[in-house]
Amino acid sequence: MIGSIRGLLLERFSEAEKGEVLIETAGIGYRIIVTPTTAVKIGEEGSEVFVYTYHLIREADQALYGFLDRAERICFEALLTAHGVGPSLALAVLGVHGPNELFQVVNNDDISSLCLVPGVGKKTATRLLVELKSVLKMPIEGISIEADNTGIGRSAILEVQEALDGLGYSPEEIRSVLGDLAGDDSSVLLREALQKLAIA
């Protein structure tokens, strides 16, 4: 089983819901499926990179899933233990919520945040919350909960999601714009999201 890879980043592809990188080590190129965020953050093409991997082996095929840190891989493995969650859905969840945010979502029973993940409705979100509470334990090495003035760590994306929800936008509308947002300033992200919703 392959647990990590260090090598030269030859190519990267990023789509709305998933990404892929090609890393060469010892003359062999490994195609690794990653979140779009990982595809962007991993490094420049031609540079040496390192990813933790999850090696999925099935009857007819094999796939490598890549993560920038151990905490993300641990969350991916925890998601796979949930009923009906395969690698694609687990990666989609991590594409929307990083490990820190995922713990907060589970800890706060935040169904609406889980519904932002493409392919996750209220029923699936409710079931996921119940199942993940038993397997996603803190602290996970590599994850630190940063507290804001409410004592709960928050991300700019979650703040934007809550703001749009408060403005009356549906989960589908919110999901359609949040996938394209990146950054740490929630006011800038909210402005971008509202502009995209106005065009749609």
CATH at residue 62: 2.40.50.140
Residue 142: CA count within 13 A, CB half-sphere: 12
Tell me which residue range forms the domain holding 94.
Answer: 71-147
DSSP 8-state code for residue 180: T
pLDDT, position 200: 62
Residues 18 and 77 in one domain: no
Distance in angstroms (rounded) separating the CA atoms of residues 94 and 92: 5
Q: 156: burial class by Cβ within 10 Å (0-12, 13-18, 19+)?
A: middle
Residue 9 and residue 63 in one domain = yes
Same domain, 114 and 179: no
Q: What does the mean pLDDT of the chain come to?
A: 81
Domain-terminating residue out of 102, 121, 147: 147
**Same domain? 123 vs 169:** no
- The verdict on 117 and 163 lying in the same domain is no
Long-range CB pairs of 141-150 (<8 Å, 24+ gap) are 141/70, 141/71, 141/74, 142/69, 142/70, 142/71, 142/74, 142/99, 143/71, 143/99, 143/100, 143/103, 144/100, 145/100, 145/103, 145/104, 146/100
- CATH number of the domain bearing residue 139: 1.10.150.20
Same-domain status, 55 and 99: no
Instruction: Quote the number of domains for the chain.
Output: 3
Give the C-alpha separation, 156 to 163, whole Å.
11
Residue 84 shares a structural domain with residue 131:
yes
Query: In this structure, what CATH number is given to the domain that contains residue 197?
Result: 1.10.8
Q: To 5 degrees, how large is the angle CA 117–CA 6–CA 18?
A: 20
Q: What is the pLDDT of residue 152?
A: 32
Q: How far apart are CA 69 and CA 9, in angstroms?
A: 17
Among 106, 128, 147, identify where a domain stops: 147
If pLDDT is split at 50, 70 and 90, which confidence band does 150 have? very low
- Distance between CA atoms of 22 and 20, rounded to whole angstroms? 7
More confident call, 66 vs 40: 66
Highest mean pLDDT among 7-21, 85-99, 151-165, 173-187 belongs to: 85-99
61 and 44 fall within a common domain? yes
Considering the domain architecture, whether residues 97 and 134 belong to the same structural domain is answered as yes
- Please report the pLDDT score of residue 149 as a whole number: 34
Mean predicted confidence (pLDDT) in 161-188: 74
Domain match, 84 and 133 both: yes
46 phi-psi bin (left φ>0, alpha ψ -120 to 50, beta other): left
- Name, in order, each residue with C-beta under 8 angstroms of 162's C-beta and a sequence gap of 6 or more: none
Check pLDDT > 80 for residue 135.
no
Domain boundary among 68, 97, 115: 68
